[in-house]
Amino acid sequence: MVVYVRQTLARLADEAGEGVISAAIVVLIMALLGAAMWAAFNGIFTSATNEIQTTVESIG
């Protein structure tokens, strides 16, 4: 019984930081996805703004 408890505690100590590391990786991935989405959003609406302004200037 003592050996089992020691083995279990040793295994838990080895895996203590796994959740934190996984969470940090997920946060970095989400940040990169957010930055990519912002760049796409900004590019699309900058282009749309320029086209609308050109059309409005040609009309009036």
Q: Is residue 36 part of a domain?
A: yes
Q: Is residue 50 part of a domain?
A: yes
Instruction: Count structural domains, the chain.
Output: 1
The two structure tokens encoding residue 4: 């089992």
Q: Is residue 45 part of a domain?
A: yes
Q: Is residue 37 part of a domain?
A: yes
Q: Is residue 5 part of a domain?
A: no
d(CA 9, CA 19): 17
Q: Is residue 33 part of a domain?
A: yes
Q: Is residue 15 part of a domain?
A: no
Q: Is residue 2 part of a domain?
A: no
> What letter represents residue 2's amino acid?
V
pLDDT of residue 25: 95
- The parent domain of residue 34 ranges over 25-60
pLDDT digits 0-9 by tens, 19-47: 888 899 999 999 999 999 999 999 999 99
Split at pLDDT 50, 70, 90, the class of 12 is: low
Tokens 């989400």 locate to: 30
